[in-house]
């Protein structure tokens, strides 16, 4: 009899169940790899076209000089990563990048700014960017840090579709990665976004030295949001010289795929995005991630400040796999 049938997770949460325990997700992680892939595919095919990949492009509209101390981030002002601080991009340059992204096949255009949170004078400029990018027929997404009262509503009124604000890692590991704010501050911003009626893009980073139980705890936090994020980026740590996590121990690639599968099973209606770290992944590893239920990628030559597989390579990979971009 198949291990899928006799596994203890059969008595755990079902995809329709609202609450997942860390222990239940650990049990998913512990399944034989092929059984986990099979279960993830079953869930994926019940909710999505298994051969369709959504493509987003991410542009850094304000780079460097962030006051936060996130241990993975090349844009933190306190770390010597060789990154020069830049001002907010002019509207015309942002729109040109958005047109290029659309011509290249992206359906969503994401704009990121290295701030703890936006000042109103800066937000006013971002609001204009959102309105103009939206007018091009693209879905819009921004990641601007922590929002103040009323700012999410302004973004909604400008036509924003998604707000990205990752919770990064398990609650018990958060303080080992970030010290200038706590994870509760991130949840406060996510609540503002939800209350404003904006879709949530929220995920985490894998490979920062966390244990498997912590990876399960991260997935539990995401899956137990009510509702879960519409878009869940799963990032593989990109080791940036000069940051505290530059020498983090490498993660077993199969463990990363297992994380994707657990995200798919516990968040069946969410887009699970294969995000940072793809430049270091082989085509074969990316294909396993798609098999595990990833159905969205960042598309283009750069992901904020770190490299990303070139668009031609992505098109070639999807063609070889018989998959289509949407």
For the annotated catalytic residues, the residue numbers are: 66, 70, 73, 110, 141, 201, 273
CB 33 within 8 Å of CB 258? yes
User: To which residue do tokens 């703890």 refer?
Assistant: 116
Rounded Cα gap, residues 326 and 309, in angstroms:
18
- Its sign, for the CA torsion 140, 285, 264, 38, is positive
CB 110 within 8 Å of CB 133? no
CB 162 within 8 Å of CB 197? no
CA neighbours closer than 13 Å in the CB half-sphere of residue 182: 3
Q: What is the DSSP letter of 150?
A: T
Q: What's the CA angle centered on 60, arms 284 and 169, to 5 degrees? A: 60
User: To which residue do tokens 């995200």 refer?
Assistant: 263
Report the length, in residues, of the chain: 326
Rounded Cα gap, residues 201 and 140, in angstroms:
11
- Strands of the chain (E only): list them: 52-62, 108-113, 139-143, 162-164, 199-201, 204-206, 231-236, 271-274, 296-298, 302-303, 306-307, 324-325
CB 71 within 8 Å of CB 79? no
Rounded Cα gap, residues 312 and 303, in angstroms:
16
């Amino acid at each position: 009899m198949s291990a899928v049938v006799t596994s203890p997770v059969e008595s755990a949460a079902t995809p329709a169940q609202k609450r997942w325990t860390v222990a239940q997700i650990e049990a998913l992680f512990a399944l034989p790899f092929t059984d986990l892939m099979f279960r993830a595919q079953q869930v994926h095919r019940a909710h999505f076209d298994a051969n369709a990949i959504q493509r987003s492009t991410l542009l850094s509209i304000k780079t460097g000089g962030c006051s936060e101390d996130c241990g993975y981030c090349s844009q933190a002002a306190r770390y010597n990563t060789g990154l020069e601080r830049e001002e907010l991009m002019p509207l015309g340059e942002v729109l040109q990048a958005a047109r290029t992204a659309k011509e290249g096949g992206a359906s969503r255009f994401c704009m990121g700014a290295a701030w703890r949170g936006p000042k109103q004078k800066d937000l006013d400029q971002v609001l204009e960017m959102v309105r103009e990018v939206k007018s091009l027929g693209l879905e819009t997404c921004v990641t601007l840090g922590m929002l103040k009262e009323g700012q999410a509503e302004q973004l909604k009124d400008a036509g924003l579709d998604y707000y990205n604000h990752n919770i990064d890692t398990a609650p018990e590991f958060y303080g080992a990665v970030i010290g200038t704010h706590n994870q509760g501050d991130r949840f406060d911003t996510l609540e503002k976004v939800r209350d404003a009626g904006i879709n949530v893009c929220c995920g985490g980073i894998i490979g920062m030295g966390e244990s498997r139980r912590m990876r399960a705890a991260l997935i539990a936090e995401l899956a137990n949001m009510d509702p879960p994020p519409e878009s869940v980026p799963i990032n593989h740590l990109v080791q940036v010289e000069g940051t505290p996590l530059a020498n983090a121990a490498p993660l077993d690639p199969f463990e990363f795929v297992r994380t994707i599968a657990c995200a798919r099973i516990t968040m069946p209606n969410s887009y699970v995005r294969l995000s940072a770290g793809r430049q270091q992944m082989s085509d074969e590893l990316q294909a396993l991630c798609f098999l595990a239920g990833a159905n969205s990628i960042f598309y283009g030559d750069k992901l904020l400040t770190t490299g990303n597989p070139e668009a031609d390579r992505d098109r070639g990979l999807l063609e070889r796999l018989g998959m289509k971009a949407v």
